[in-house]
Every structure is written in structure tokens, then in C-alpha cells.
Amino acid sequence: MLLLIDHLVVAARTLEEGAAWVESRLGVPTSPGGKHATMGTHNRLLSLGAGRYLEVIAIDPDAPPPGRPRWFELDSPAMAQRLARGPALIHWVARTDDMGQAVAATAAGQSDVLALSRGRFHWRIAVSRSGHLAQDGIAPTIIEWESGGHPSEFLPDVGCRLEALVLYHPEAAAALHALSQAGLDPAEPIRPDPHGRGISAQIRTPHGIVEVRE
């Protein structure tokens, strides 16, 4: 089974605030993304090289409320309080070619596999029915791209690359082991840390390596 890092998720109260936050840290601009009608969100993107990108996501103020909880806990009071302090790297998404096996390897709990599209892109993604991020966001959301290519193929290369993804959680080692047993590529730059909760990323930029978290 294919299982790879697909993208990182930076959440913000507004898309503009999130894009400015990323640019202030990495020193490069994000690119336009689009809207997710099913979830009432919109995004901007930044290439991390072939097959990887960083997504800035926020609730779309022009979209009607979806008929289900939005992904990435964007509807929760706890996430609203967190983002009131500023944008944050909250989550990561793993790409697979076997949705059932990949979801079974995570602690995501009951998920709905949704068939979604945005412009040329068509994909399936496993979304928690409650919108909750399992294990404080260290258990990845699973995505399977079906047609239209991968977003990284259409983003300008701004010279950023993911050097390391750190999973902070008392159960991080066990979570990473489960993913490895399920087929996570051992070359993926992921390491566990039992101290704290959440994730951080070390990203090589044209200006040096930058840590992105909160």
C-alpha cells in the first residue's frame, strides 16, 4: 500500500490572515487554491516539492453552513480559541492508494469517506463524522487522489521543502509504528516526540530552515 505525506494543514480565522502568517515565516507567497462547497471552506496553497504542499485553510464567509461538521475541527469552540491567538499548523494529510487499509491504520475513529472535487481535482478523503482531529492532530487524515493530477504539479516551485515532521503526543511512537506497519514509506521524514501535543514542521526555504508550528 502506498502511504506518503501529502500535505500540511495551517488553519486560520481568515484566509488572508493565514496566508500572511505563512509568508511572514517562510518568506514566500502562497498561491490561490479554491473553495470546498461540501465543507464551506476555502484555501491557498504552497508547494513543498513534488507530491507535497502546504495548505492554508479557513471557513469561507461567503459559503452557506455545511450540513455536517467542517473538517479539521474548524467549527469547534476550542479551535476558535486556538486560532484567536493566531494561525497554526494543526494537522497533516497522508496520501494512499488503499483508503480502507490506510484509515484502519489510524486512530481517526468513525469516518465518512467523501468523494470531493475542486476544479480539475477529484479525490476521496476520510473525514471524521464529528470533525474531530484524533490524537490532537497527529493521526493523519487519509486522502486518495483519483483524477486531475496532484495539486503540487500545478503550483510554482518557490524553493520550499519539508525537512521533518514531528508528532507530539504521549502515543506518538505507537501511532507512527501503526502507520509504518501499514506501509508508510520509511524514507518519510517523520519522527515522534512524547512531550507536548500537536505537530511541527521543519521547512527548508530559500532563506534557511524554518520551524512552523504556532
**Phi and psi angles of residue 57, each rounded to the nearest 5 degrees, phi first:** -130, 145
User: What pLDDT is recorded for position 76?
Assistant: 95
Q: Lowest-confidence range among 88-92, 116-120, 207-211?
A: 116-120
Among residues of the chain, what percentage have pLDDT more than 70?
Answer: 99
**Phi and psi angles of residue 15, each rounded to the nearest 5 degrees, phi first:** -65, -40
CA distance 27 to 136: 28
Among residues of the chain, what percentage have pLDDT more than 90?
Answer: 88
For the sheet with 198-205, list strands across it: 190-193, 161-168, 198-205, 208-212
Residue 109's pLDDT band (cuts 50, 70, 90): low
Considering the domain 3-157 in this protein, what is its CATH number?
3.10.180.10
pLDDT in tens, 9-58: 999 999 999 999 999 999 999 999 999 999 999 999 999 999 999 999 99
Q: By C-alpha distance, which of 134, 50, 60 is closest to 91? A: 134
Q: Residue 47 carries which side chain, given as an amino acid letter?
A: S
CA distance 184 to 52: 15
Looking up cell 524554518 gives 210
> What are the domain boundaries of the chain?
3-157
User: What pLDDT is recorded for position 106?
Assistant: 86
Residue 108's pLDDT band (cuts 50, 70, 90): low
pLDDT in tens, 48-93: 999 999 999 999 999 999 999 999 999 999 999 999 999 999 999 9
Q: Residue 212 carries which side chain, given as an amino acid letter?
A: V
State the average pLDDT for the chain.
95
Sign of the torsion angle spanned by Cα atoms 61, 63, 64, 70: negative
Q: Is the pLDDT of residue 94 over 70?
A: yes
CA distance 54 to 30: 9
Q: Tell me the average pLDDT across 141-168.
A: 96
**How far are the Cα atoms of 2, 6, 151, 161, 175 from residue 53, in angstroms, in the given order?**
18, 7, 8, 9, 22
Q: Tell me the average pLDDT across 191-195.
A: 97
Q: For the chain, give the longest Cα–Cα distance.
A: 43
3-state secondary structure of 15: helix
User: What pLDDT is recorded for position 4?
Assistant: 97
User: What pLDDT is recorded for position 119?
Assistant: 87
**What pTM, to 2 d.p., does this model score?**
0.96
